[in-house]
Structure 1
Amino acid sequence: MNEVETKDVGTTDLSAYMMKVIEELRRDRKPPAVHIYACTLRSFIRFSCSGEEECSMPMQEVFTPGRLKEYEQWMLLRKLTQNTISTYMRTLRAVYNRWMPPGTAEHNPRLFDDVYTGVVSQTKRALTARQMEQLLEADLSGLSPQQQAVLAYFLLMFLLRGMPFIDLAHLRKRDMQDGRITYSRHKTDKPITVRIPREALVLIAKYADRHSASPYLFPILDARIRDSWQSYRNYQDALRHFNRKLGQVMSRLLPGVRVSSYTARHTWATLAFHSGQPVGIISQALGHSSLRVTETYLKPFGNELVDKANRQLIASVRKCKWKNETEYRAGL
């Protein structure tokens, strides 16, 4: 073990250590990671410092099975979701592995075995084909200009093969050429090319950003912002605004139906799956990093198709039985 590692063990404070990591992430222009690390640190400070703004948190005391279990119980008492708890625990695990790298004598590979680090699959909501048709043909006269634009963005995400909101918001004017949109997915950096359907062309023509100074195709983000952290905050604000306005739109057009920015993408995938499109095609359209990701994504619908096949089989058997009984009676 080298001198630096010996010095760190038992003396490094969690808050100081994580702040250094956060600063590195800022320099590397990774705003989402900065946000998660900062939220995790604030949460653990509230747990460990009992309401005080700061206190001593030696990492050798933090990273023990008992202390981590206490933190998990503290979060459960505050009714944090399983996925939030898992996010904080996985962030602490990343910090621990950075501080005490796997393979070193002091590293405990089972340290996080007794706390939750999994992911709870959320029930995703998709609209039906009929509901999408209603939105595509909706009378917009009762909506404000902002609400009309939000509905247009939602429809565009569906029409452009389930494009995520983050990718729609970051589309550049130069990405649209010769009737196609070419861009890289923010999540996977995978290049995507989409032929623009005529229904989408109409919406793009109406709601595109008219300001020549803005590089963005749509007026969703502030083009004047250059700082990566401020850009991330700007996107988060735009996402919250979009979901709030989308809720208002749906309360008028589809009362009682809950949607979010993710619904358009999930609806596209669901309708494509139920229309019999091969999983490989759906995977390519969604820009997933692998077919396995798509299979996991669509797994809940497999049971629906099996149940449908079962109902059809039972119906055919009952129909056959009814037919045989009818023929028997006719012969009497």
Structure 2
Amino acid sequence: MATIKLFYDTRKPKKDGTYPLRLKLFHQKKARYIFLNLCFKPNEWIKEDNQVKSSFPNSTRVNVTIRKHLSDASLVLLENENILDDIDVDELQRMITIRLFGENKTIQKKEYFFVFTESIIKDLIRAKRIGSATSYKTTLNSFRAFLNEKDILLMKIDHKFLTDYETHCLNKGMKINAIGVYLRTLRAIINRAIDEDILLHTKYPFRKFSIKSEKTEKRAITREQLKKVLDLKLKKGTSHWHAKNYFTFMFNMRGMNFIDVAYLTMKNIQGDRLVYKRIKTGKIYNIKLTTKAQEIIKHYTNGKKTNSNEYVFPIMPKPIDNIEKERERYIDKRQYFNQYLKDIAEKCEIDVNLTSYVTRHTWASLAKFAGISHAIIGESLGHSDLKTTETYLANFGNDTLDDANEIIVS
């Protein structure tokens, strides 16, 4: 038996603090939700009466609209009661949606792929998540090229669209993992559209589509190769000398990310510990400074005020208000750093691609061979596994992690 009722969905608030009102359809042991284009704050909604308070603007008209939606939806069930067993829940949801809003309801701009993605990018920039915004921009540009700059409705993105895009990219000579990055970003866009009631979850195109991936080039280096880098003698004060210092510091701090090193401030140094928020994830790290890390920091902090916002390392100039320009400046610095590391690898006569990512992977690799618990280091450092690894790390006390780090860097 099919049922329909009003459902004030308080599971996830919208940005303005309101929650959506939906119709909840239950049929053949499955539930579906129909968004009514109505959202209210908790203090505006009377749960017991399923209506807005009289103080709500145009409350009488709004409540009449709500009752009409419920009545029209119930009428669809009544009109089809003799054949309901032959109609699946998704088709019934479609029938009710058409009855409420019409077959040709007005399409909103945000229902278009390009427009919606651009709105996400703006949100990310406002949140100062420039790295993520850049990733979304790159993805959007790829799909713009695929679609010849012609925007499409999000609902038109289906399984065939995904396979056609994948084939298009392969024919252009793109690597499997690069295609996977764009497709995973698209999947995040689709999921957000569903969360914001812009797209029905029945239109989710990834249900039977698998995003392919290939094993990437090993980023970790051996302990012998690492020793050559750490022992390399360079002229003090040169760019390569500084780059080696940053590399050594990163390794000693559990494979710290270069962006976090670049923006490290004096207030992050708290006694013999380093306490900072990772820029990529927002996670707080509290790491004991190893003897070598303290030695490096001492060179750069002479004359600087403790507990200040001064940068520890001379990597980035003073920050500017334009966060996109600031991101560009950081990328330039990272490129220089990677070039210096490449030069260092040549000087050490080691045939490896020495980059800013190497310290993190090497730290994990050496930890594994040192017999450190897999619960601490994880099985690998791919993006998905990295998230799992950091979840494990969060469950251990600082003493345990400090001891593990001492074993690895010694």
Q: How many residues are treated as equivalent by the alignment?
A: 286
- The counterpart of 2:392, out of the listed 284, 291, 296, is 291
* Contact 2:158 2:204 (C-alpha < 8 Å) held by counterparts: no
Is 1:28 aligned to 2:123, yes or no?
no
Contact 1:188–1:289 at 8 Å: present in 2 too? Answer: no
Q: Mark the CA change 1:167 to 1:119 in structure 2 (over 3 Å): closer, same or farther.
A: farther
CA–CA distance in 2 between the matches of 1:136 and 1:188? 29
Distance across 1 between alignment mates of 2:223 and 2:363:
9
**Residue 17 (structure 1) shift:** 2.7
Q: TM-score, normalised by structure 2?
A: 0.61
Alignment of 1:312-331 (within 5 A): none
Report the CA distance between 1:159 and its aligned residue. Answer: 1.6
1:173 to 1:3, Cα distance in 2 relative to 1, 3 A: closer
| Correspondence for 2:180 | 86
The within-5 A match list for 1:3-152 is 6-8=105-107, 12-49=111-148, 54=149, 56-59=150-153, 62-101=156-195, 106-108=200-202, 111-113=205-207, 115-141=209-235, 145-152=238-245
| Aligned partners of 1:10 and 1:60 also within 8 Å | no
Shift of 1:32: 2.0
C-alpha displacement of 1:282: 4.1
The question of whether the paired residues in 2 share the 8 Å contact of 1:209 and 1:217 is answered with no
SS of equivalent residue, structure 1 residue 290: helix
- 1:186 corresponds, among 273, 276, 279, to 279
Higher helix share: 1
Contact 2:268 2:276 (8 Å CA) reproduced: yes
2:298 equivalent to 1:205:
yes
User: Identical aligned pairs, as a percentage?
Assistant: 28
Contact map agreement 1:209 1:216 (CA 8 A) in 2: no
How high is the TM-score relative to the length of structure 1? 0.73
Check if 1:271 corresponds to 2:372. Answer: no
For residues 153 and 99 of structure 1, the distance between their equivalents in structure 2, rounded to whole angstroms, comes to 41
Corresponding residue SS for 1:158 = helix
1:242-292 per-position Cα deviation (integer Å, ceiling 9, x unaligned): 111110111112332221111112212222221222234547xx9943229
Q: Is the 8 Å Cα contact of residues 208 and 219 (structure 1) preserved in structure 2?
A: no
One-letter amino acid of the counterpart of residue 193, structure 1? N
Q: Is it true that 1:219 corresponds to 2:314 in the alignment? A: yes
Runs of 5+ in structure 2 lacking a partner? 1-34, 39-100, 379-385, 396-410
TM superposition shift of 1:179: 2.3
Change (3 A) 1:110 1:256: same
Unpaired stretches in structure 1, ≥5 consecutive residues = 295-332
Query: Aligned letter for 2:162?
Result: L
Q: In 2 relative to 1, CA 10–67 (structure 1 residues): closer, same or farther, beyond 3 Å? A: farther
Does the alignment pair 1:261 with 2:356?
yes
C-alpha distance in 1 between matches for 2:110 and 2:366:
56
Work out the CA distance in 2 between the residues paired with 1:193 and 1:230: 30
CA contact (8 A) 2:113 2:154 kept: no
Q: Distance in 2 between matches of 1:43 and 1:26?
A: 20
8 Å contact from structure 2 (residues 229, 344) kept in 1: no
| Structure of greater Rg | 2
Cα deviation code 1:114-144 (max 9, x no counterpart): 5443554424332222222222222214x87
**Matching of residue 161 in structure 1 with residue 254 in structure 2:** yes
8 Å Cα contact 2:253-2:289 kept in structure 1: yes
Cα deviation digits, residues 54-112 of structure 1 (max 9, x gap): 4x322157413222221111111112222221222222233333334599994335522
State the SS of the aligned residue for 1:186: coil
Residue 244 of structure 1: which of 325, 328, 339 is its match?
Answer: 339
Q: Give every structure 1 segment of 4 or more consecutive aligned residues whose post-TM-superposition deviation is greater than 6 Å.
A: 102-105, 209-214
Q: Which whole-Å CA distance do the structure 2 matches of 1:41 and 1:240 have between them?
A: 24
RMSD: 3.3
Residue range with higher mean Cα deviation, 35-44 or 175-184: 175-184
Which deviations, in whole Å up to 9, do the C-alpha atoms of 1:299-322 show, x marking residues without a partner? xxxxxxxxxxxxxxxxxxxxxxxx
Paired letter, 1:182: V
252 and 216 in structure 1: CA distance in 2 versus 1, 3 angstrom threshold: same
Q: CA deviation at 1:148?
A: 0.9
